[in-house]
Structure formats: structure tokens, C-alpha cells
């Protein structure tokens, strides 16, 4: 075995990684027994060695979905904000222009000029359900389970308040959860509450409280810090991953 490392501009690296995940996911959905990690390696190997991709659904070049984040003041013509590459950060105007040149569709997103919170999305060209899911993924690029970094595109879309108990199918009640953490929420005593400001409050079965913030930032609430310190002093496990047995959750 050997390792190949690629150093290139951020947009290209981000696009390569995204393409590998999407093609691997397509093969997995079609019933391929290989793991996602194995599939991603094989996908990239096929693309590099064959030149002409033999993978069904493969396309050429970067074909990104362009999200135009528009602060309210910019919409009024009195502001000028930088472009953001999803999954990376700010990019220069020239790079943004190059990425958007090959875009097949556009979507308008209105944000608050102070907080950056998404205020509204343009539903055109999208069915309502797809627009709601897209909105939730824009607000939370990663799984909202404390400590999880699974990208929202690879996660399930969960009704924070269970739909079976009256939770509405609205943007304010949707959030991404990885498959394992989705099961943890519904089959253990984990509880999640949407706070109305794009943050969620997560309470573990042991009573630890976490505040999950947009852009994948998670900070424990004061009560959680106290309990976590007490648990650590007692030698108790206080971490959980997507692969662990969630029926015996240490929280």
C-alpha cells in the first residue's frame, strides 16, 4: 500500500472531494458492498487512471450549485460582502466568478447583515420539501449532534420535534443528523429543541446540555461543563461517535 497527497487550490480540492463522495454514494445506493472509504478510493483511482470516466453518472469539470448569500444591506446596494466557498471559507471575486461560470442554476438567499443568519430562501425551481432541506443544510453544514462533523449532505434530515407528535415540516423544525445519531435521537433519551435563532439545545440521557450553533460550532452550556467535569473526575466516558453502540449511550 502507498499514499498519494494532492496539494491544490481550495476550490479544486473541495470539488474533487465532493465528486468522490457523490459518485461513491451512487455506487453504494446501487448496492455495491464496499465501504464508502473503499469506494471513494476506487472512484478516484478510476478517474485518474482511465481519463475517460467509466463510472455511470460521472461528469467533467466542476459543476457546483451556486448559493448567493445576500446580506440585507447588500441587497439595498449599500454593502459589499465577500463570496464564501461552502465547506472552505472566503474566496476572492475572481475565483468565485470562475466557479459560477459553469453553474447551471442560481438560487437567492437573504441573510441578516449583523448576525449572518439566513432570513429567507428563494423557492423557485425547487419543490417545497427540497427547499426546506436545502435551507437546513445551509444553516447547519454538519450533523447537529454534539461533536459530530458528518457533512449535512451525507446526513438524514430530521424533524427536531417528531412529526408523529405534531412537529411541522418547516425549516424551523428541520436539522441534519448522521444516520447513527438519527437513531440515537429516536431510540435513546437524547432530546433536541430548536431555539428559533438557528441554534439547537441538545440534552443527553444523563442531563448534559449542549448548545449547537450554525456552521458546525458546538459549545457546551454551563451546566454541561459542570457535569462533564464531574463525570471526568469519576472516570466516566463522556464521548460518543457515530459508530458506537448507541443503545448503551454513556450520556
- Cell 443503545: give the residue: 247
CA separation for the pair 213, 115 (Å, rounded): 12
Q: Do residues 17 and 36 lie in contact, with contact meaning Cβ atoms separated by under 8 Å?
A: no
Bridge partner list, 85: 89
Q: What is the residue extent of each domain of the chain?
A: 10-50, 66-121, 141-244
Nearest to residue 221, comparing CAs of 205, 197, 204?
Answer: 204
Predicted pLDDT at 106: 61
Which of 209, 208, 154, 207 lies closest to 182 in space, CA to CA? 154
Give pLDDT tens digits for 101-156. Answer: 656 666 666 666 666 666 665 544 334 467 788 888 889 999 999 999 999 989 99
Question: What is the total residue count of the chain?
Answer: 251
pLDDT in tens, 152-170: 989 999 999 887 788 888 8
CA distance 115 to 145: 22
Q: What is the pLDDT of residue 230?
A: 60
Output the pLDDT for position 195. Answer: 93
Where is 26: in which H helix or E strand?
A: helix 10-29
How high is the pLDDT of residue 58?
Answer: 58
> pLDDT at position 183, please?
92
The pLDDT value given to residue 237: 45
The C-alpha torsion from 25 through 26 and 29 to 31, rounded to 10°, is: -110
DSSP string, 49-63: HHSS--STT--SS--
Residue 85 has φ and ψ, to the nearest 5°, of: -90, 115
Spell out the per-residue pLDDT of the chain, length 251, in tens: 778 888 888 888 888 888 888 888 889 888 899 998 899 998 888 888 776 655 565 555 555 555 555 455 544 545 566 666 666 667 666 666 666 665 666 666 666 666 666 666 554 433 446 778 888 888 999 999 999 999 998 999 999 988 778 888 888 889 999 999 999 998 999 999 999 888 999 999 999 999 998 864 444 444 554 555 566 656 544 444 444 344 444 44
DSSP 8-state assignment for residue 64: P
pLDDT at 30: 85
- pTM over cut 0.75: no
Phi, psi at 121, each rounded to 5°: -125, 155
Amino acid at each position: 500500500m502507498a499514499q498519494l497527497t494532492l496539494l491544490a487550490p481550495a476550490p479544486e480540492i473541495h470539488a474533487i472531494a465532493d465528486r468522490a463522495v457523490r459518485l461513491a454514494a451512487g455506487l453504494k445506493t446501487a448496492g455495491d458492498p464496499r465501504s464508502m472509504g473503499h469506494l471513494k478510493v476506487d472512484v478516484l483511482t478510476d478517474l485518474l487512471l482511465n481519463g475517460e470516466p467509466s463510472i455511470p453518472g460521472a461528469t467533467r469539470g466542476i459543476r457546483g450549485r451556486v448559493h448567493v448569500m445576500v446580506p440585507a444591506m447588500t441587497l439595498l446596494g449599500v454593502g459589499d460582502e465577500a463570496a464564501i466557498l461552502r465547506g472552505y471559507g472566503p474566496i476572492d471575486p475572481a475565483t468565485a466568478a470562475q466557479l459560477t461560470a459553469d453553474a447551471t442554476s442560481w438560487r437567492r438567499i437573504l441573510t441578516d447583515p449583523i448576525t449572518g443568519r439566513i432570513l429567507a430562501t428563494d423557492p423557485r425551481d425547487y419543490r417545497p420539501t427540497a427547499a426546506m432541506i436545502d435551507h437546513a443544510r445551509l444553516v447547519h453544514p454538519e450533523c447537529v449532534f454534539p461533536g459530530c462533523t458528518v457533512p449535512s449532505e451525507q446526513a438524514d434530515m430530521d424533524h427536531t420535534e417528531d412529526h408523529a407528535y405534531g412537529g411541522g415540516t418547516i425549516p424551523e423544525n428541520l436539522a441534519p443528523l448522521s444516520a447513527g445519531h438519527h437513531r440515537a435521537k429516536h431510540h435513546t433519551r437524547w432530546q433536541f429543541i430548536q431555539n428559533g435563532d438557528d441554534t439547537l439545545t441538545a440534552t443527553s440521557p444523563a442531563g448534559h446540555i449542549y448548545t449547537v450553533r450554525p456552521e458546525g460550532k458546538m459549545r457546551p452550556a454551563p451546566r454541561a461543563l459542570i457535569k462533564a467535569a464531574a463525570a471526568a473526575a469519576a472516570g466516566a466516558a463522556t464521548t460518543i461517535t457515530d459508530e458506537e453502540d448507541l443503545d448503551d449511550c454513556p450520556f
